Amino acid sequence: MTELSGLQPATLLVHGGIERSQHAETSEALFLTSGFVYESAEEAAATFDGSLTRYQYSRFGNPTVAMLEQRLALIEGAEACRVTASGMAAVHAALLCHLKAGDRVVASRALFGSCHWIVSTLLPRFGIASEFVDGTDLEQWRAALARPAALVLLESPSNPMLEILDLAAIAALARAAGAITVVDNVFATPLGQKPLALGADVVVYSCTKHIDGQGRTLGGAVLGRKDWITDTLQPFLRNTGPALSPFNAWLLLKGLETLQLRLDAASRSAAALADLLAGRAEVERVWYPFRPDHPQVALARAQMRDGGTLVSFALRGGRPAAFAFMNALRLTAISNNLGDAKSMVTHPATTTHMRIGAEERARLGIGDGVVRLSVGLEDVADLAADLERGLTAAGQAAAGAL
Ligand SMILES: *Cc1c(COP(=O)(O)O)cnc(C)c1O
């Protein structure tokens, strides 16, 4: 793939990682096979003793899956990548392959629900201590990393309040404590933020979100240095088996071809809709990373390419206003998913963040009036009209509640 070096991301998204078969097909070939055959017993033996590198079983590797891994690595600027059947399989593998009993993990509190569960509930069962900090407070990171740690896990922008964490500063503290830094880069996307260049060691994705971006498949990815991927992650993946289906890998390769176009369009609309929401009386507050009123706007502008496709906002009137808003929408779907071609809204307090409880929600600033909007590819004027409909209903509900 050396002939691809120096090319821009939009080009890599289309050409990166292609391995054509003997038929010289245009589109990436779909190798829908679980296994592979050998020319001879000697070839099989050489494959197993490692003297010959070739495909042997799709839990270990598959040509379609390998094209996706190669393309993702090129876009990320990572030495190596392995993909998994879901984003959570990627996070789980990245953590468990590196950790052992007696280790200590420090994580930002505002994590995706299942990531929070792994750190708070699963890891301690295996003798791995975990500690949460407020991700935007460097003093808390400094205090938690004053003692040795094995791994730091964080997410920026965070879900759903779009907090921005200082990736370079946290990665430096982690390194000094002996920890690797794993960044869940789902909200920022591989084009929007480069954690490895900022000092992180490992980046994880749910490819289910923007990378597919069309609601068709789950998928996950782990990226990092070649030695860590080959020596630490790969044995874990090969032997525990969260392998991505070749068909789903093929869907994700097709998704990547349009990633930049989709992200540019959706981010432009998201910035415009954030401004619209901020100007309305029904809205108490808007969180969008590139807006001047975002608490970490300078940091966001320094470490992200654009403000992203997600906007969160608090409606006056709490839950009745939020529900009235969502129920009045005709175009924007109610869904906990995000990063899709179709715009979606969710009420975190009663869905994605219901289980963490009122106290933890209050700590994270997830009020009952907060709505998270994932902006899709519809015409921005149609989306604006849809939001206006929702805001009118929210205003009426808020007035009724008084
Ligand atoms: C969706 C998501 C995940 C989990 O990915 P799945 O593909 O649903 O398993 C992890 N982290 C973040 C930030 C996500 O948005």
Question: What atom of ligand 1 comes closest to residue 88's alpha carbon?
Answer: 9
Q: Is the CB of 209 under 6 A from ligand 1?
A: yes
Domains 9-257 and 260-401 share a fold: no
CB 62 within 8 A of CB 17: no
pLDDT given at position 402: 64
- Does position 2 have pLDDT exceeding 60, yes or no? no
User: 220 CB under 6 A from ligand 1?
Assistant: yes
- 385-394 pLDDT tens trace: 999 999 999 9
Task: Decide if 1 contacts 12 (C-beta within 8 A).
Answer: no
- Helix-helix angle 246-257:63-76, to 10 degrees: 40
| pLDDT-based confidence at residue 400 (cuts at 50, 70, 90) | confident
> Would you call the peptide bond into 157 cis, given omega within 30 degrees of 0 as the criterion?
yes
- Of the chain, the percentage scoring pLDDT greater than 70 comes to 99
Q: Tell me, what's the pLDDT at 200? A: 98
Residue 189 Cβ contacting ligand 1 at under 6 Å: no
Q: Where are the domains of the chain?
A: 9-257, 260-401
Spacing, Cα 160 to ligand 1 middle (Å): 12
Q: What is the mean pLDDT of residues 243-254?
A: 98
pLDDT score of 192 more than 50 = yes
pLDDT tens digits, 138-165? 999 999 999 999 999 999 999 999 999 9
Distance 186 CA to ligand 1 centre (A): 7
Q: Which residue reads 């592979």 in tokens?
A: 36
Cα 209 to ligand 1 centre (Å): 7
Asked if 13 and 86 touch (Cβ cutoff 8 Å), the reply is no
Model confidence at 102: pLDDT above 60: yes
In this predicted structure, what is the pLDDT of residue 54? 96
Query: Which of 83, 183, 186, 309 most suits a substitution to test ligand 1, by most atoms within 8 Å of the C-beta?
Result: 186
Ligand 1 centroid to residue 112 C-alpha, Å: 7
Query: Is 157 a pocket residue for ligand 1 (Cβ < 6 Å)?
Result: no
For the 9-257 domain, the top CATH level (class) is alpha beta
% of the chain at pLDDT higher than 90 = 96
Work out which ligand 1 atom sits closest to the CA atom of 339.
15
* Buried-exposed string 192-203: b where 16+ CB fall within 10 A, e elsewhere: bbbbbebbbbbb
Bond into 9 cis (ω within 30): no
Tokens representing 96? 């468990």
- Mean per-residue pLDDT, 314-318: 97
For CA atoms 268, 269, 272, 278, the dihedral sign is negative
Model pTM score: 0.97
CA of 13 to the centre of ligand 1 (A): 21
Pick the CATH number of 260-401 from 3.90.1150.10, 3.90.870.20, 3.30.450.20, 3.40.50.300: 3.90.1150.10
Determine the pLDDT at residue 1: 46
Tokens of 268: 């432009």
Q: Which atom of ligand 1 is nearest to the CA of 159?
A: 13
Q: Nearest 5 degrees, angle CA 269-CA 223-CA 201?
A: 100
- Kindly report the backbone phi and psi dihedral angles of residue 154, in degrees, each rounded to the nearest multiple of 5, phi listed first: -150, 165
Compute the distance between CA of residue 81 and CA of residue 96 in angstroms, rounded to an integer: 17
Which 3-state string (H, E, C) describes the chain? Answer: CHHHCCCCHHHHHHHCCCCCCCCCCCCCCCCCCCECCCCCHHHHHHHHHCCCCCCCECCCCCHHHHHHHHHHHHHHCCCEEEEECCHHHHHHHHHHCCCCCCCEEEEECCCCHHHHHHHHHHHHHCCCEEEEECCCCHHHHHHHCCCCCCEEEEECCCCCCCCCCCHHHHHHHHHHCCCEEEEECCCCHHHHCCHHHHCCCEEEEECCCCCCCCCCCCCEEEEECHHHHHHHHHHHHHHHCCCCCHHHHHHHHHHHHCHHHHHHHHHHHHHHHHHHHHCCCCEEEEECCCCCCCCCHHHHHHHCCCCCCEEEEEECCHHHHHHHHHHHCCCCEECCCCCCCCCEEECHHHCCCCCCHHHHHHHHCCCCCEEEEECCCCCHHHHHHHHHHHHHHHHHHHHHHC
Q: Lowest-pLDDT range, 183-187, 338-342, 345-349, 398-402? A: 398-402
Only one residue has tokens 């392995």, namely 82
Cα–Cα distance for residue pair 239/224, rounded to 1 Å: 20
CA gap 47, 145 in Å, rounded: 44
C-alpha torsion 43→44→47→50, nearest 10: -100
Report the separation in Å between the CA atom of 392 and the middle of ligand 1, taken as the mean of its atom positions: 32
Q: Is the pLDDT of residue 401 over 80?
A: no
Contact 214, 100 (CB under 8 A): no
